[in-house]
Amino acid sequence: MASSDLTDAEWELIGPLLPPERGRPGRPAHDNRPFLDGILWRAREGSRWRAVPERYGRWNSVWRRFARWRDLGVFEAIFAAFAGSGLAKERLQMLDSTIVRAHQHAAGAKGGRIARLWAARAAAFPRRSICAAMPVACRWPSC
């Protein structure tokens, strides 16, 4: 059990809200707890589904349970139960625009295809004149 996995008190609150899984013929169903921990791990890390550690089960199985529970509305019930309990105070963190700040270079730059085309053209055709600050080296009278 990793330090960021659900505690026993949290699992006692959330466990009964999860639908029971039925295994394939000849195979028993696995417990929901490692799959839920895998879903929460992926949400915390922001990684791809294929990067879910093997201790939570195969990544495809974790994704399938996530998709099934999402479609059934299980997560809304979990959020409502977790918000109504006192356990949410320990892990609850709120982020808003006053906390999240962009990098200084993230503001004001134009993007898109046109800007990239102009930048590529400027790199392909460098300037071929000499600055007017050097009148001795200038060949043209306009300098």
Report field, pTM of the whole predicted structure over 0.85 = no
Q: Give me the residues of the chain with pLDDT under 70, please.
A: 1-3, 23-24, 86-121, 123, 125-143
- The C-alpha atoms of residue 102 and residue 73 are separated, in whole angstroms, by 34
Query: By the 8 A CB rule, do 4 and 44 touch?
Result: yes
- The C-alpha atoms of residue 33 and residue 111 are separated, in whole angstroms, by 44
Query: By the 8 A CB rule, do 67 and 75 touch?
Result: no
- Type of residue numbered 82: F
Query: By the 8 A CB rule, do 7 and 36 touch?
Result: no
**Cα-based distances in Å from 58 to 41, 65, 68, 85, 119:** 13, 11, 16, 31, 45
Task: Give residues with Cβ within 8 angstroms of 7, minimum separation 6.
Answer: none
Decide: residue 35, CB within 10 A, 0-12 exposed, 13-18 middle, 19+ buried. buried
